[in-house]
Amino acid sequence: EQNGNRNPGGLQIGDLVNIDLDLEIVQSLQHGHGGWTDGMFETLTTTGTVCGIDEDHDIVVQYPSGNRWTFNPAVLTKANVVRSGDAAQGAEGGTSQFQVGDLVQVCYDLERIKLLQRGHGEWAEAMLPTLGKVGRVQQIYSDSDLKVEVCGTSWTYNPAAVSKVASAGSAISNASGERLSQLLKKLFETQESGDLNEELVKAAANGDVAKVEDLLKRPDVDVNGQCAGHTAMQAASQNGHVDILKLLLKQNVDVEAEDKDGDRAVHHAAFGDEGAVIEVLHRGSADLNARNKRRQTPLHIAVNKGHLQVVKTLLDFGCHPSLQ
């Protein structure tokens, strides 16, 4: 047994394992042990089943998606299984750990979900409002991706980008119609801070002029407030909502507010290929030569993305053409 299906880390075929380490540590431990690719992000949030131990004592783990990945044993932690029957059957059967009707909470970390969504329905800025919110699984695709109804609309998510809040068949998710909406409302109330600033950013991202107008009349709203690390100004700029920018500019908004990457509204406009937005920002005295933390100006971004209309607009407004 010692050599056959056991390894020095004490893992055996059939064991359930998790990864409890930070991504950077996992990546460094994987050097020489199968490496790391973007497709492996599912392994950071999903329990897998040991299905093989190779001659180097590296561990082959299978996930509910059907994927198999090879790991340095130092990366893996044996999962504490409360009801071993259920969990093992779920993982080894390779079935999805989700069912239609489950209530799930969307990951609230913007950078992480952007990575997880690659190849899984992708990421759209309009999904910002769903971060951290609870939705209901409507459909499970053959590749295990989930169609989730959340915030009044439906998006496709990588199963690793959501966590289960209540199972299909439990009292809360079984409730029908009105009762469900009451229960969900309770659930949402506990997570919705009634945050006007968050509402403002969402409305700006979605181009909802009436809602933005309404929110700006509220005395307790902060026009520079953030949701998921972005201001209403940045969200409207990236999505090309010129009418909303004009409303915000009347409200003493900070056109130079930066997100955590140092990107200002003008960078977001260049990224989103929104020449008309650049024009409005220019009239609002935005610095068109501002550099983000990667030392990129909006012109760098527009050139890199091949957004020629934005390049032309920036140059027309006297941007420094030097791309140093």
From first to last of the 324 residues of the chain, give the pLDDT tens digit.
Answer: 334 444 545 788 888 888 877 777 888 889 888 888 877 877 877 788 898 988 888 999 988 777 889 999 988 988 764 332 333 333 333 345 788 888 888 887 888 889 999 888 889 888 988 888 888 899 988 888 999 988 878 899 999 898 877 666 555 444 444 444 455 544 444 344 457 888 898 889 888 898 899 899 988 889 999 887 889 999 899 889 999 999 999 998 999 999 888 999 999 999 888 999 999 999 999 999 999 998 999 999 999 888 899 999 999 999 988 755
- pLDDT at residue 80, as a whole number: 60
Which has the closest alpha carbon to 104: 35, 154, 178? 154
Answer for the pair 7, 57: CB distance below 8 angstroms, yes or no: yes
Q: Write down the pLDDT at residue 9.
A: 57
Quote the pLDDT of residue 148: 92
Spatial CB neighbours of 264, under 8 Å, sequence gap ≥ 6: 234, 255, 256, 257, 258, 286, 287, 290, 292
Sheet containing strand 103-106, edge to edge, reads 153-157, 146-150, 134-140, 103-106, 162-166
Burial of 140 (0-12, 13-18, 19+ CB in 10 A): middle
Q: What is the per-residue pLDDT for 265?
A: 95
Supply the pLDDT for residue 109. 81
Per-residue pLDDT at 105: 81
| CATH fold of 103-191 | SH3 type barrels. (2.30.30)
* Amino acid found at 320: H
Assigned CATH topology for domain 196-316: 1.25.40
Does this model's pTM top 0.85? My answer is no
